């Protein structure tokens, strides 16, 4: 049983269009992106000065010629200054000093996207822009990598610079990918899909975005500090031997970890407690199931990453020895902590992608979702089993070989619930009359790519094969097929499907088709040759290779450049469709039964005039005498917004 709680005064203002007094508009007088940047700079300067002062008084804890204390305190207070400048700490600080915080009401206009907003739709759109920006910067680093690999003998970068570019690319992309669906689509759509007017904890929701941005900037600050040479995995003892940029890596992981924990907790509480009356667990949309499973992983796995980063910072600042073998620590500790988070992270990225596919497939096949309960159970099964497979990343580490059979078994077992989820999609498409609109094309590409990634993953779970291809391009290609070929194509499917609801504008179909076919064809032309390159012995993270592999590498690099161009087509489509030649989207352009499509477009500030009463799941397509999905009731007068207060 649960109750939907609202804030009557705020809803009344939002519904009536009345603007609150200036003193009640959050951040209108001071807090915005500009003050956040100023706060970050001031905070960093104070922290660095404080760190230098501490080190001058206690020189015996300075770290081998590098003032890690000053770097750490600078980044720490820089993040605090960023949060103060954006207004994230206004509410708790007001409570702390005994003052009544001002009412938090959404301000109007484009400037709200540069402020600390507690509206879940604004936060969702902020995430859309944020993850696309991070993806763009990570993609530029990928282009630099493929440029270097055009020749085994003529080099653009030094070996040291190359490994730092590879490390930065992997870290930025992995941290961006953890929020690529949960951030934009999870925050925007989950309340709409479950019939709620807001997230459970709006301030925590906004906090998760702005600290996500702060973590991104911290990780990128490693570049002016000299970068880090460890790859995105940060293995010790390379970690303990690295330069100042390693502090940015460790602290960046800790900061983003905080945001991930906050987001996971908030989403889980929202789904469990804020479902509309009648929305039993058997009626929860499959996308919401995927986000719930992901939220559980974010909440339970991320603290391990946070602790691992803190231990690394302590090693570099106050001379502890968690990962320093010669002082009694163990590099295995980092590997176990990192991958205990790192493998659930794979499913943090994969599960929401299949959730998107599960929502889109019934709409464009006009069939009920095949084996809905099996798909939901598969997602929960994957989230549970993902905590039991991490040591397959350590088969080559020299750790106790008696553990290998157990983790080979658990790794192969997780393919069972994953296979269930995959077969739900296949069953839905079986004998269907498919509408090949853009979202559906991207979903079909997802299943094609993930099949290749999944099959090669089964091989990698086997110890002899894993030992043979470990550290090579075969693993790199498998990973990109699983994550980029799955998650990124699903994200694009979700954007083309839901952007009309989020923006009120239809994406251009012709430009979208150019984007899809360019992205799909050249993704496969980029990464499939890497399976062959890996089997022929080329290692990852090395900027030279055997001359007989240059042809395959050149083919892969040129394909990667065209793949990168496909994203420019997408960005052009965004600008064209939203600003140059906008076409107004109807309320329900896809004829979907989903609850999120039953409200106006763009979505009103309060989502629903009345909290809907859910009568059935949203997948009764082409069924005779299909039940209505929900009763939204008559509209409420603008000045008398209704509250649900009804138990689920």
19, part of any domain: no
Taking each helix axis from N to C end, the angle separating 120-148 and 489-503, rounded to the nearest 10 degrees, works out to 140
Q: Looking at the domain assignment, is residue 517 inside a domain?
A: yes
What would the pLDDT profile of 63-109 be if each residue is shown by its tens digit? 444 588 899 999 999 999 999 999 898 888 888 888 877 666 566 67
Residue 17 lies in a domain: no
Residue 199: which of 2, 6, 1 has the closest Cα?
Answer: 6
Q: How confident is the model at residue 177 (pLDDT cuts 50, 70, 90)?
A: confident
Nearest to 16 by CA among 454, 448, 641: 641
643 in a structural domain: no
Q: Which domain holds residue 404?
A: 118-580
DSSP assignment string, 4-57: ----HHHHHHHHHTPPPPGGGSTTSSS-SHHHHHHHHHHHHHHHHHHHHHHHHH
pLDDT band at 26 (very low <50, low <70, confident <90, very high): very low
User: Residue 514 — very low, low, confident or very high, per pLDDT cuts 50/70/90?
Assistant: very high
Asked if residue 646 belongs to a domain, the reply is no
The mean pLDDT value of the chain amounts to: 88
Is residue 414 included in any domain, yes or no? yes
Report the percent of the chain where pLDDT is more than 70. 90
Nearest 5°: the CA angle 424, 427, 431 is 155
461 located within any domain: yes
CATH number at residue 381: 1.20.210.10
- pLDDT tens track for 29-44: 457 888 999 999 999 9
Residue 132 lies in a domain: yes
Query: What is this structure's pTM?
Result: 0.90
The total number of structural domains in the chain stands at 1
């Amino acid at each position: 049983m649960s109750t939907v709680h609202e804030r009557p005064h705020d809803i009344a203002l939002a519904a009536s269009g009345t603007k609150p007094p200036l003193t009640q508009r959050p951040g209108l007088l001071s807090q915005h992106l500009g003050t956040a940047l100023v706060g970050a700079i001031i905070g960093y300067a104070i922290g660095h000065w404080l760190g230098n002062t501490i080190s001058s008084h206690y020189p015996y804890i300075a770290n081998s010629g590098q003032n890690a204390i000053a770097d750490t305190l600078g980044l720490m207070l820089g993040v605090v200054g960023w949060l103060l400048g954006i207004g994230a700490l206004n509410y708790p600080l007001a409570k702390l000093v005994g003052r009544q915080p001002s009412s938090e009401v959404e301000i109007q206009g484009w400037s709200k996207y540069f402020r600390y907003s507690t509206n879940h739709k604004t936060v969702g759109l902020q995430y859309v822009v944020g993850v696309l920006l991070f993806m763009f910067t990570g993609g530029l680093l990928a282009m630099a990598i493929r440029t270097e690999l055009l020749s085994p003998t003529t080099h653009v970068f030094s070996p040291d610079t190359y490994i730092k570019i590879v490390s930065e690319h992997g870290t930025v992309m992995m941290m961006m990918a953890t929020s690529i669906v949960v951030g934009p689509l999870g925050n925007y759509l989950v309340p709409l899909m479950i019939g709620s007017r807001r997230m459970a904890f709006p301030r925590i929701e906004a906090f998760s975005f702005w600290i996500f941005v702060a973590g991104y900037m911290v990780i990128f600050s490693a570049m002016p500090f000299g970068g880090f040479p460890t790859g995105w995995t940060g293995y010790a003892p390379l970690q303990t031997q690295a330069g100042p940029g390693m502090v940015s890596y460790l602290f960046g992981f800790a900061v983003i970890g905080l945001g991930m924990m906050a987001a996971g907790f908030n989403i889980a509480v929202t789904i469990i407690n804020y479902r509309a009356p009648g929305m039993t667990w058997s009626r929860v949309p499959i996308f919401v199931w995927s986000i719930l499973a992901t939220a559980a992983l974010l909440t339970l796995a991320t603290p391990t990453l946070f602790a691992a980063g803190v231990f690394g910072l302590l090693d570099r600042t106050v001379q502890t020895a968690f990962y320093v073998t010669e002082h009694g620590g163990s590099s295995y500790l980092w590997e176990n902590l990192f991958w205990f988070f790192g493998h659930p992270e794979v499913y943090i990225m994969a599960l929401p992608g299949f959730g998107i596919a599960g929502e889109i497939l019934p709409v464009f096949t006009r069939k009920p979702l095949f084996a809905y309960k099996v798909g939901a159970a598969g997602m929960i099964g994957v989230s549970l089993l993902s905590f039991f497979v991490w040591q397959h990343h350590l088969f080559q580490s020299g750790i106790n070989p008696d553990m290998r059979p157990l983790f080979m078994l658990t790794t192969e077992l997780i393919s069972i619930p994953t296979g269930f989820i995959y077969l739900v999609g296949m069953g839905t498409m079986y004998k269907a009359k498919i509408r090949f609109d853009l979202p559906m094309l991207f979903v079909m590409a997802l299943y094609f790519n993930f099949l290749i990634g999944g099959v090669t993953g089964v091989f990698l779970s086997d110890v002899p094969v894993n030992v043979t291809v470990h550290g090579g391009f075969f693993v790199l290609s498998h990973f990109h097929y699983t994550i980029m070929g799955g998650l990124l194509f699903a994200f694009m499917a979700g954007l083309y499907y839901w952007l009309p609801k989020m923006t009120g504008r239809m994406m251009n179909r012709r430009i979208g088709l150019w984007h899809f076919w360019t992205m799909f064809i050249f993704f496969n032309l980029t990464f499939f040759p890497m399976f062959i390159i890996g089997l022929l012995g080329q290692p990852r993270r090395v900027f030279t290779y055997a001359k007989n592999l240059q042809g395959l590498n050149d083919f892969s690099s040129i394909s990667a450049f065209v793949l990168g161009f496909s994203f420019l087509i997408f960005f052009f489509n965004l600008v064209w469709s939203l600003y140059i030649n906008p076409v107004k989207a109807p309320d329900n352009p896809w004829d979907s039964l989903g609850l999120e499509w039953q409200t106006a477009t763009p979505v009103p500030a309060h989502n629903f005039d009345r909290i809907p009463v859910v009568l059935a799941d949203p997948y009764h397509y082409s069924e005779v005498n299909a039940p209505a999905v929900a009763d939204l009731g008559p509209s409420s007068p603008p000045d008398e917004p209704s509250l649900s207060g009804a138990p689920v």
